Amino acid sequence: MKAYRILLYYLYTPIEDCLAYREEHHRFCLENNLLGRVIVAPEGLNGTVSGLAEDCQRYMDWLHADPRFAAIQFKIEEHEQHAFHKLHVRVKEEIVNSDLPVDPLKQTGVHLEPNEFRQLMNDPDVVLVDMRSNYEHNVGKFKGAITFDMENLRELPDHVTEIEHLKGSGKKIITYCTGGIKCEKASAYLLHQGFENVYQLHGGIIRYGLEEGGENFDGECYVFDGRVTAPVNHVNPEIISTCHVCGTTTSRMVNCANPECNEHLPICEQCGWDMDGACSDTCRTHPRKRPYNGQGYYPKKFEDYTPVMGFKSAQGSFRKE
C-alpha cells in the first residue's frame, strides 16, 4: 500500500458565491497539506489533488459533508509521493472550458457504469467517440474509437460533421474522456445537434481502469499531474504511440523542454536524454530551454503565487483566474 493518494473528481452543482467558497476550499487544502488543481465555477466543482492517504480521506469527508457536494464520485489512485508541485484553487466561468450551449444539469447522454460499458463496448452497434485532445488520444485510446484532431473541447463543433453519418443509423454512440467531465457537456452537445442513442462512460477512463481492469484501452492514459501518463489496462495492454524522435514504440509522454514549444509528445527515455528533453534540434538549442531532469514535466512558474495567498491582485483580494 502506497502512502499517497491522487484524487480526481467533478460535480455539476450550483455554487453561488464562488469567491468566498474558493477561499474556504483553498484554506482547507492548505491546512491538510493537499496539492493540486481545483476549479470553482457557478456551475460546479472540478479538482485533482494529491496528499497522504489520511489527508485525502479527510478532504473527501469534508466535501461529502457539504450538501452541495454530497454526490461527488472520487477516482482514487495510489502513488509514492505528491503528484503535484503546487496548490491552485481558481474561480472560472466553467469547470471545463467548452463554450458549448448546453447545461449538463438539464440534459446529458445516458450514464454507463464501468461494468455496463465493458459489456457494451464490443457490440457491433456501438461506436466509441473520444472527446479528449489529440495529444491525449495519441498516447492511449480504446480500440476502434473515433478520435478528433482537436486541441480542446471548444473545437468540438468543428468536428461533429466527422460523425454526421451516425445520425439515424441506430448506432449507440458512447463518448468517453479521462474522468468523465468533458463527456457531460460533449454528450449533451451531440443530443443538442440531433444525435440519438448517446451514452457516456461515467467516471471516464480512470474509473473504468480502477473498477474493470481497463480492458481494450490501448496505450496509457494522459493525466494532468506529474505522472504525465498512467497505465489503466491490466488485462490486455498494448502500446500504440511511437517516439517522436526515433520512431520506437513508447508510452512515455513528455512536454518539450522549450517553453515556447511545450508540445506534448511521446519521446522514449533514450531520446529524452539525447535531446535534453527537447523535441527537435531547434528546441534543444533554444535559449529559453528548461533544464531536463529525465521526467519531462515542467510545472508552470508564477511570480505572484504563494501557497498561502494563491494569486493576489494589487488590491489584495483574490482575483478571478
Catalytic residue numbers read: 177
Contact 59, 51 (CB under 8 A): yes
Phi, psi angle pair for 86, to nearest 5°: -140, 170
What is the residue whose three cell numbers read 484532431?
A: 149
C-alpha cell at 270: 533514450
Q: Round to whole Å and give the CA distance between 304 and 265.
A: 29
Phi, psi angle pair for 221, to nearest 5°: -95, 125
Beta bridge partner(s), residue 4? 52, 79
Q: Are strands 305-306 and 172-176 parallel, antiparallel or unpaired?
A: unpaired
Beta bridge partner(s), residue 71? none
What ranges make up the beta strands (E) of the chain? 4-12, 35-41, 44-52, 75-79, 87-91, 110-112, 126-130, 140-142, 172-176, 198-201, 217-219, 221-222, 229-230, 253-255, 264-266, 305-306, 310-311
Q: Round to whole Å and give the CA distance between 272 and 290.
A: 13
Q: Are strands 229-230 and 221-222 parallel, antiparallel or unpaired?
A: antiparallel
Q: Which amino acid is at 236?
A: N
SS3 content of the chain, % helix, strand, coil (to 5): 25, 25, 50
C-alpha cell at 230: 498512467
